[in-house]
Structure 1
């Protein structure tokens, strides 16, 4: 139901729309730096795994340099604002008054990373030159849109949605079984299984008889890191391309640590 009610309606339409933009040739006149910013902002707004999906799609068309795959996926992979605010902050943590502080802790590290990236990588304004080299520079294709492009977008959208559904269901079941069979309030055990799937993990953590500060700190970490399910979903977006999963995990770990320390300092 999480997939059907919250993820499928938005992301399915979004993936079709993205495919139309790619195949129609509109984005070939946009610089790589602008595309990187587009990926980041859309990933933050629409939620996981739009950041990774856009990175993979743009990279497959040589619109984004593939050496930025892991970094860009890490900084743009956030849970959607409705999930963070409505489900986690209001429903589970009961901390509506701290919404802005929590959002700042979650988004500030990735925003700072993007600013630093934009300052350092000032040489990525030319997409084709950066990705393919000057001697392989290609002329941007003209605008094209037909039923074959639309059909391909629909098929691509369904493929992506089915992958997400399978990962969500699989890890939701796995994360519930051990805790349902174990009659204990061991915080460490709950954190381990919360790292598998975020939705059930946050619910399980918030049900523990511990302080509100400890619950919220752990939930900040879960929201920032995403869990094993999100990591594998991200990797699946790059199934036919080179993607270093350990490098991605390293970036997410750094951002997660920054979010947790920010929350501890602010609260």
Structure 2
């Protein structure tokens, strides 16, 4: 049954492409333009650098000092500090990519990796400030409320999840980390560059695909404005947040924007799945926790907004 539904969906998608080639071309161009102008120059250098740091072992020098600062407050491993800070600062999807690379290189266990991809794979503070609160909501003064609402649930979950992992009551390392020496050569740099371009090319394909799908959905309006906004936000985060601008009630706009941002959209789920599949991390667990975080973020945000 599931296979039949998948075949039907693919057939319908191809049919729409053939029937509406102009819409397809414009949507694909918009998606690729977003990828080329925003994601590629922002994430590619960071992706290449993280690949080189992990492959060379030099990231240990960075985590050495960060771990000493965060260890008394947060029960994370020394290797886990790297994706935690990189994911929170630079945002999705670097958090999941770096975590998966560390699991694949046996720097951390799958158990810790499954927790970390839920903590550090969020949209960055720069995106929140520039796009969500300044451009769409036009309320930059609410940025602190947004940061608390969006980052508190995953960090809270991570604290207790990592604490259990560290104590070994539920989780245990899958493999022992092999001993290695830090080194840097052109072979590692070349591999890091190729890996970075491969990762960003995948992201570009997913963004183009979901841009086309979103354009097709917009062609066939159904239900109320709220229903259309919910469908768009669940499918792709930036489109959903943009459509909240048409909703008159600001508390409702604010809550929806927080929910879409926290969840990340099905497009974000597909991109994350492509980042973590080779490391054996759980997409199902990631989806379940992102749904919980989205609901929690909306509740916290509305509570804080009502108290202002």
Q: TM-score, normalised by structure 2?
A: 0.77
* 2: CA distance, partners of 1:23 / 1:37: 16
- Kindly report the root-mean-square deviation, in angstroms, between the aligned alpha carbons of the 2 structures: 2.1
Question: Which runs of 4 or more aligned residues in structure 1 lie more than 4 Å from their structure 2 counterparts after TM superposition?
Answer: 27-32
* 2: CA distance, partners of 1:123 / 1:180: 53
* 2: CA distance, partners of 1:121 / 1:70: 11
Distance 1:172 1:165, change over 3 A: same
**CA offsets per residue over residues 158-209 of structure 1, 9 Å max, x none?**
000001111112112211322244276431232012211111111112223x
Partner of residue 73, structure 2: none
Q: Any idea what SS the aligned residue of 2:277 has?
A: coil
Number of aligned pairs?
258
Return the match for 1:158 from 194, 197, 200.
197
Partner of residue 50, structure 1: 94
Distance 1:16 1:163, change over 3 A: same
Partner of residue 5, structure 2: none
Q: Any idea what SS the aligned residue of 1:120 has?
A: helix
Instruction: Name which of structure 1's ranges 102-111 and 51-60 shifts more when overlaid on structure 2.
Output: 102-111
Counterpart contact for 1:176–1:200, Cα < 8 Å: no
Q: Any idea what SS the aligned residue of 1:239 has?
A: helix
Residue 222 (structure 1) shift: 0.4
Residue 26 (structure 1) shift: 3.0
* 1: CA distance, partners of 2:222 / 2:54: 51
Partner of residue 244, structure 1: 282
* 1: CA distance, partners of 2:128 / 2:297: 14
Partner of residue 130, structure 1: 173
Partner of residue 208, structure 2: 169
Residue 215 of structure 1 pairs with residue 247 of structure 2: no
Q: Any idea what SS the aligned residue of 1:148 has?
A: helix
**Correspondences of 1:184-203 after superposition (within 5 Å):** 185-203=224-242
Counterpart contact for 2:111–2:165, Cα < 8 Å: no
Question: Which 5+ residue runs of structure 1 have no aligned equivalent?
Answer: none
Return the match for 2:218 from 179, 198, 211.
179
**Correspondences of 1:222-237 after superposition (within 5 Å):** 222-237=260-275
Question: Which 5+ residue runs of structure 2 have no aligned equivalent?
Answer: 1-32, 68-75
Q: Any idea what SS the aligned residue of 2:232 has?
A: helix
Residue 11 of structure 1 pairs with residue 50 of structure 2: no
Residue 86 of structure 1 pairs with residue 124 of structure 2: no
Residue 54 (structure 1) shift: 0.7
Residue 77 of structure 1 pairs with residue 121 of structure 2: yes
Partner of residue 182, structure 2: 143
